[in-house]
Structure 1
Amino acid sequence: MPDRSTTPSAPRGVARHGRLRRRGPVRMLLALVAGAMAVVLVSGVSVAAIAVRTATSGVQTVSLGNEDEVAGVDISAIQGGANILLVGSDERDDGSQVDAGEVDGIRNDVTILAHLSADHTQLTAVSFPRDLMIDVPECVGEDGQVYPAEDYVQFNTTLGRGGLSCTVKTVEGMTGLAIPYAGKITFDGVIEMSNAIGGVDVCVTRTIRDTDSGIDLAAGTHPLQGAEALAFLRTRHGVGDGSDIARISSQQVFLSSMMRKIISGGTLGDVTTLYKLASAALSNMTLSSTLNSPDTLVRLALALKDIQPAGIVFIQYPVVDDPRDSNRVVESTTDAAALNAALNADEKFTLGDDSAGRGSVADGTAPVATTAPAAPEATSTPSDATSGSAAPADPAATAAPTTTLPSTITGQSAAEATCSVGSSR
């Protein structure tokens, strides 16, 4: 999509998708792999198989219209890479545990693309700012209404235009990736998942106080779970400069800490905790029909059962301030092109030395997990990785090259211990 601060980029084709069968949940996705995919993507196969086969029995599904992109195979680790879009919206069910205030429309206020590399050693989680102004493709709404393609539309309105499939279609057009898997998670799911693992330790550099989300934390390290964890993840005015960009990097502090606990803190060896985590995530999700299959979930679990924190990278989609509106952002053409090229080529990459976001800083008191991703025994071609479909691995293939992204692209790996930069309102 064009960067309105520079020059337009070439248009990309997008796949056609079906309509989302509406379900009333969710306001925002706050747990990426840390929640639904924590078990689905990083647990041991036996526990994952039992958990997902039970937990998915009542999960609602939605057709993305591209089921032919996912081939059915025997139960084994998915071969090649995969792309999964996880979103949350302003919808929520009656009887929810969460009082999220007045709902104004249906929005995807948090959208995260999870890209699994073809050799299964790197998982990249790309967060898209809600205030990003983009060009959207034609979409069909849940009521059958056709929304024509339109320029200069706020990103978080795509869910309301045509459901989950419209958000998928939009991100496909922005990145050039095929995204056959997608899901939404509820507020209640975030609460239950944080409870299931006994909370997440979060470092705060100075007081976080936000009357909107209800969070009030003094400087220091806090074990967050339940409604308090949700309030931390929701806060915008309580971190950094009060922007959505700052909130994204603050959320990455939480998600990284959660992944370290799940992977390195013994969670994967606790069958009871794993089952609770899987049930909490999946019982509060709406999944695409391609992702709802227990076999698919187990294959994804197998693919990432040995992932290490250093192999999980959280990135904010590159943006710059919108010259038309200081409260909005637009795509940074050069940086977005670099990121999308790396994802499409299935390159291994690291972030620059100065990649901290607006809402986080390095925790100088904590040791950094240094375990590097294991060298792969086999890998698939980049085209297999970006399609999300299963493809035979080539035992003779070498590991993908490693590149360093521009320092202007912000984020962190799950191995990095970071702190949220507090502010008060």
Structure 2
Amino acid sequence: MSAQSTPGPDIPGAAVPRGPRRRGKGRRRKPRAGRRRGIRLVAWTAAGVVLLGGAGAGYLYVKFNGNLTSVDIDRMLGGDRPAGADDGSENILVIGSDSRSGDNRSVGGGTDDGTARSDTAMIVHVHEGHREASVVSIPRDTLVHRPDCVDSQGVDHPAEDGSMFNSAYSVGGAACAVKTVETLSGLRMDHYLEVDFSGFQRLIDDLGGVEITTTQDIHDPDSHLDLEAGTHRLDGEEALALVRTRHGVGDGSDLGRIQLQQAFVKALTEQVGSLGLLGDPTRLYNLADTATKSLTTDSDLGSVNALMSFAADLGGIGASDLTMITLPVHYAPDDPNRVAPEEDEAQRLWTALKADEPIPTTLREGSATGEAGDVITVP
């Protein structure tokens, strides 16, 4: 799928000078019209249910294993991939899928056309020692080189330059998304985690909602989000609308939406640890059932045991241990509704992560915000 054929611009189509390249963070005319601790919660709740299950533990273990969907990324991509790190660090590609099929039609909008795109994409780099993580959000409208991909039906899709990033998932699913990220970054993705619209919404409801504070009113008729400035406990529907809203904040671009997503991840991370789930077996069961049904993982994480081990390994990472950044981009000179990587700065980012070093301060301070960086605060 080419950039021109992908429906729906995500960055306002206001006129942009065709002169020197611009970073995607300036003021633009208004348009026309999570998660790390969440992953840890998935495994922890599954483990808690098994521990509380008594004589039914074996049944519950089999049930939750059966809920999980996994993809054998290693087999599908073969050996032509970046080398894995040998310093104890890990890279995880986290995808939010905007499939319009099945249960997702009512929450995703659009038509039930059987297609899906990567609505949200984050590279989570877990540093050596697994006590800190750097998270890089990739705008879905980023123009990239999509490598040759084979879809689930065995159909080969030749490589394409100037392809929308989120079209990689549409073309070849999880494996093509991973291959495109590895081509873009030069980093090997050690794991893959995906959640869809309906699963995200149910998980937030099972958690009892997430509390955030907005510093301004947010009204977006497209995502149906309507919040006054102040503190709110969002249910699943409202949380989904928040992480999908663009037109209600900042300059109306996908870059502003990413800032909301990053703030929501931190709010969720702050609150999960205080839920007291072990004292509420029914709630714990519901969470584990929803979480395991909502996830698609790489085959190495495709069991409750593997998820529990993965969660335990990352258990010390909290909100204050997350460094979050948006991939450095500029508005594409030939298409103001798209962005392209700012090559020099992007290379500095990938080089730092490949060496397991902190993201340079100058990149963090210059990260594109879409003018939405301070809309949400964590209570």
**Cα deviation code 1:89-142 (max 9, x no counterpart):** 332442458343223643212112222222111122221101100011111122
Q: 1:367 maps to which residue?
A: none
1:100 paired with 2:108, answer yes
Q: 1:33 maps to which residue?
A: 36
**CA distance in 2 between partners of 1:188 and 1:170 (Å):** 25
TM-score (norm 2): 0.77
Q: 2:336 maps to which residue?
A: 326
CA 1:296–1:221: 2 relative to 1, 3 Å: same
1:88 paired with 2:96, answer yes
Please list every run of 5 or more consecutive structure 2 residues that lacks an aligned counterpart in the other structure.
Answer: 1-19, 22-33, 53-59, 80-86
Alpha-carbon shift at residue 313 of structure 1 (Å): 2.3
Alpha-carbon shift at residue 324 of structure 1 (Å): 1.2
**Cα deviation code 1:308-362 (max 9, x no counterpart):** 3211222211211111111110001122112111211112347545657225344
TM-score (norm 1): 0.69
Which letter maps to 1:61? S
CA 1:96–1:174: 2 relative to 1, 3 Å: closer
1:358 paired with 2:374, answer no
Contact 1:49 1:294 in 2 (8 A): no
CA 1:270–1:258: 2 relative to 1, 3 Å: farther
**CA distance in 2 between partners of 1:229 and 1:199 (Å):** 8
Which letter maps to 2:116? I
**CA distance in 1 between partners of 2:370 and 2:190 (Å):** 32
**Cα deviation code 1:66-109 (max 9, x no counterpart):** 4999xxxxxxxxx9232221223332442458343223643212
Alpha-carbon shift at residue 268 of structure 1 (Å): 6.9
1:130 paired with 2:133, answer no
Please list every run of 5 or more consecutive structure 1 residues that lacks an aligned counterpart in the other structure.
Answer: 7-30, 70-78, 364-416, 420-425
CA 1:35–1:189: 2 relative to 1, 3 Å: farther
Contact 2:135 2:324 in 1 (8 A): yes
Q: 2:65 maps to which residue?
A: 56
Contact 1:36 1:282 in 2 (8 A): no
DSSP 3-state at the match of 2:241: helix
**Cα deviation code 1:280-323 (max 9, x no counterpart):** 22211222222213332122111112223211222211211111
**CA distance in 2 between partners of 1:128 and 1:203 (Å):** 25
Alpha-carbon shift at residue 223 of structure 1 (Å): 1.0
Identity %: 34
Q: 2:377 maps to which residue?
A: 418
Alpha-carbon shift at residue 250 of structure 1 (Å): 1.0
**CA distance in 2 between partners of 1:32 and 1:63 (Å):** 22
Contact 1:137 1:149 in 2 (8 A): yes
Contact 1:35 1:190 in 2 (8 A): no
**Which of the pair is proportionally richer in helix?**
2
* RMSD over equivalenced CA pairs, Å: 2.9
Q: 2:348 maps to which residue?
A: 338
1:65 paired with 2:24, answer no
Contact 2:35 2:269 in 1 (8 A): no
DSSP 3-state at the match of 2:311: helix
Which letter maps to 1:193? L
Contact 1:98 1:187 in 2 (8 A): no
Alpha-carbon shift at residue 34 of structure 1 (Å): 4.2
Alpha-carbon shift at residue 238 of structure 1 (Å): 1.1
Count the aligned residue pairs: 326
Alpha-carbon shift at residue 154 of structure 1 (Å): 0.7
**CA distance in 2 between partners of 1:270 and 1:127 (Å):** 35
Contact 2:143 2:163 in 1 (8 A): yes
Q: 2:248 maps to which residue?
A: 238
**CA distance in 1 between partners of 2:50 and 2:126 (Å):** 20
